[in-house]
Structure 1
Amino acid sequence: MVESARARRESARARHDAAGQSRRRAARGSAPAALLRAALALVLLLAAVGGALAAPAPARAADKPTVTLSKSQAGTGGSVTVKGKGWRPNALLMMLVCGQSAPAVGVPGGTNSCANSRGRAVTTDGDGTFSKSLPVAEPPQACPCVVHVATVTGEKAAADAAFKVAGHPVRPLPARPDGGGRLSVLTDTRLDGSSGLLTWFGAPPSRRLVFTVGNVGSVPVKDPVFQVGTSHGVFAPQWEEQQWRGTIAPGKKAQITLSVDLPAGAHGDYLVSLRYADRVLAEQPWGVGRPWGVTLFWILLCVVVPAAVFRVGMALVDRLRPDRHRRPPGRHRTSRVGEFTLRLPRLRLPQSAVTAERDTATRTAASGTATTNLPWFSPDADPGAPAGQLSAPSDNGPTTKGTS
């Protein structure tokens, strides 16, 4: 009986150990699968979140910037509310009323045909929309007119809305300058030229924009009109039209040189843009040095002018103040005789006078005549007497003290 109970206990223990080992083996076998399932779930979750975040971006990128106006016509002095959407978030925009323009062709004349002095700047919201009032002004060119909105910084974007300025003349749009041909820049543009001495003193910097274009169209291009614009910092380019005389046949190329000028005293980083048929062909940076000659001129002016004024003032003070040492006219102003005599030149006798005086002294010494009779000299001790006529006093002669 005891042995049978012991055998049952051992068999139960063996079954329990076998069950524990099987559970442990099952747990060890299921751990990699669990980890794999957890990693897969995490990847799916991240993909879903990324897709949700990135889904609106293509929609915004696909949106083209648009502009709408509160009214289609207004007179000078009025205003119109401009609204836009589809722009970059937090983008700085410039709003202008431009002439000789249409929404289909844009602003061919550039900002030179716009009322730049009455333009307004606006910043878009986080979703790329804006709304702001724009004062109405007559542009320098005749209508048809548009309200032109363009980015100032970052990626370039623009949109136009048709607008009529009441009382402003209307003329038809000029013909397209390409005439059916298409030009493309074949080589990199460059700026030739250098600044001279006058530019260092504030003269207008100038360069030559050199580039090579080819006609990739099917018709020749005759006397094409290019637009050269210069921009500084965040400001929009100022376009200037320049016509090149010549004809470019289809499939041919030509080297073109256009002048680029900046205003007097310009310095800093500029960007030169080349545009043809409402399309920017090339851009070239231009670093203009500071005109240090102007700075040097102002520094010298600030030093020389005060010094000259000081000298003139001191001269006036010296002329107007009373002279305490003034002397009557006709008399020398020097009161000390020593200073006066020291300033006289040293007198020298002529050589003939010196020779005559020496001969006179020699004849006087030879004749033996005394030329000097002083009361304290005896005749024998006369300095003017010859050396042979002098005699020593006698020992036996009387003395002036008397006899002892």
Structure 2
Amino acid sequence: MTQHPGSGAGSRVPATLLLLLSVLLLLTAPATAPTARAAESDGPSVTLSKKEAGKGGEITVKGGGWRSEALLMLLICGRSTPERGVVGGTNSCANADGRAVTTDKKGAFSKKLPVAEPPEPCPCVVHVATVTGEQALFDAVFTVAGHPTAPLPPPADEGRLAVLATTRLEGESSLLTWFGAPPARQLVFTVGNLGAAPVEDPVFEIGTAHGVFAPQWEERQWRGTVAPGGKARIKLPVELSAGAHGDYQVSLRYGTKVLAEQPWGVGRPWGVTLFWVLLCLVVPAAVFRIGMAVVDKVRPRPAGTVARHARRTRPASTDTAALPWFTQDSAPSENRRSAPPENRPPPTTKGHVWTRNGG
């Protein structure tokens, strides 16, 4: 068989190029797929323009991957790390200097945040969390220059408590609640310690949500110890704002885990409505009576009415000249008024003398 020179080399060159291209595709495909999956699973993210700044400064907080058009709260918190979160809740944050921001349609935002010293020592974070809707949060490491630092307390056996029985709300509304006083109940539940260490004086969080709004959390500490494998019956107070009514959702959280949720239907304070109805009736009636009295006082009166009114108000006189049934000539004399008839001497006749014996 006769072979032409160069025919074998020419056929091997395209095969080698195809092999190299296949290897490159295999090497690049695994690298791009996990990156896309990681971007989808990362969720919300936050970046800071500065990792450290002093009190009175300002940083720019940017984020992405959040829910579209979500309301977020930005806080600088002490005694916190991204791994353990904000230890002690929002009491460790500079709440007065926080900022709110709404994400755009793509879930991104950019907001300037003033640097303030939190009430707790560092380590510190910039805490970003949703205010309404489904809860999401992110903690970015940040250092407040000049602020004291202290090690975090040893981690407790958090998250090892579980609710063993159905939660319920105990208590009844009083008469004052019918007139707008804050409704109050007690959340009763039983927890068990599933961990290997005792839980002492656990701090729970009670959240109350109305409608589509996110729960407003308040810390409630229970004094006591739950031994490993033991259980305890706990009562925590729950209170709403004055005049609250409608359907509410009460949530119980320990650490970062929601243990239970309980619905609460609050009646309308009809006493307040009754008060305003009565006020709308009484006040116009009182104003009308006052107005009529003023009109009656200042209105002009006819001449005859004034004369009759003057005669009614003139004091009575004891002078006989003022009496209409006596005249100056017919008025009784002083002798007639002064001497009674029985003591008056008999009349005498001129030229005749009366004696005792008569004749």
Query: TM-score category by the smaller chain?
Result: 0.5 to 0.7
Alignment partner for residue 69 of structure 1, among 36, 48, 58? 48
Instruction: After TM superposition, list the pairs within 5 Å mapping 1:251-290 onto structure 2.
Output: 251-290=229-268
Q: Residue 71 of structure 1: CA displacement?
A: 0.8
- Per the alignment, residue 131 of structure 1 pairs with 110
- The alignment's TM-score, normalised by the length of structure 1, stands at 0.59
AA of the residue aligned to 2:245: H
- Per the alignment, residue 164 of structure 1 pairs with 143
AA of the residue aligned to 1:101: S
In 2: Cα distance, 1:299 partner to 1:175 partner: 59
In 1: Cα distance, 2:122 partner to 2:133 partner: 30
Taking a change above 3 Å as real, the CA distance of residues 69 and 181 of structure 1, as seen in their structure-2 partners, is closer
Taking a change above 3 Å as real, the CA distance of residues 56 and 154 of structure 1, as seen in their structure-2 partners, is farther
In 1: Cα distance, 2:164 partner to 2:227 partner: 15
Instruction: After TM superposition, list the pairs within 5 Å mapping 1:212-361 onto structure 2.
Output: 212-233=190-211, 235-324=213-302, 325-327=305-307, 331-332=311-312
Higher strand share: 2
- Structure having the higher Rg: 1
In 1: Cα distance, 2:145 partner to 2:294 partner: 67
In 1: Cα distance, 2:256 partner to 2:165 partner: 20
- Per the alignment, residue 80 of structure 2 pairs with 101
> Please, which runs of 5 or more residues in structure 1 have no aligned partner?
1-53, 334-404
- Per the alignment, residue 178 of structure 2 pairs with 200
Higher helix share: 1
Q: Residue 258 of structure 1: CA displacement?
A: 0.8
Q: Residue 206 of structure 1: CA displacement?
A: 0.6
Q: Residue 201 of structure 1: CA displacement?
A: 1.0
Equivalent position SS for 2:307: coil
AA of the residue aligned to 1:73: E
Taking a change above 3 Å as real, the CA distance of residues 181 and 321 of structure 1, as seen in their structure-2 partners, is closer
Q: Residue 235 of structure 1: CA displacement?
A: 4.7
Superposed CA deviations along residues 40-62 of structure 1, whole A, max 9, x for unmatched, are xxxxxxxxxxxxxx999854442
Q: Residue 215 of structure 1: CA displacement?
A: 0.7
Q: Residue 204 of structure 1: CA displacement?
A: 0.6
**Contact between 1:181 and 1:220, CA under 8 Å: does it hold in 2?**
no
Q: Residue 203 of structure 1: CA displacement?
A: 0.3
Give the aligned CA root-mean-square deviation in angstroms. 3.2
Q: Residue 294 of structure 1: CA displacement?
A: 1.6
- Per the alignment, residue 343 of structure 2 pairs with none
**Contact between 2:190 and 2:231, CA under 8 Å: does it hold in 1?**
yes
In 2: Cα distance, 1:100 partner to 1:236 partner: 25
Identity %: 67
- The alignment's TM-score, normalised by the length of structure 2, stands at 0.66
In 2: Cα distance, 1:265 partner to 1:142 partner: 39
Equivalent position SS for 2:306: coil
**Contact between 2:66 and 2:103, CA under 8 Å: does it hold in 1?**
no
Q: Residue 161 of structure 1: CA displacement?
A: 0.9
In 2: Cα distance, 1:311 partner to 1:138 partner: 62
Q: Residue 143 of structure 1: CA displacement?
A: 4.2
**Contact between 1:112 and 1:238, CA under 8 Å: does it hold in 2?**
no
In 2: Cα distance, 1:287 partner to 1:175 partner: 40
Equivalent position SS for 1:327: helix
AA of the residue aligned to 1:326: V
> Please, which runs of 5 or more residues in structure 2 have no aligned partner?
1-32, 314-359
Q: Residue 327 of structure 1: CA displacement?
A: 2.9
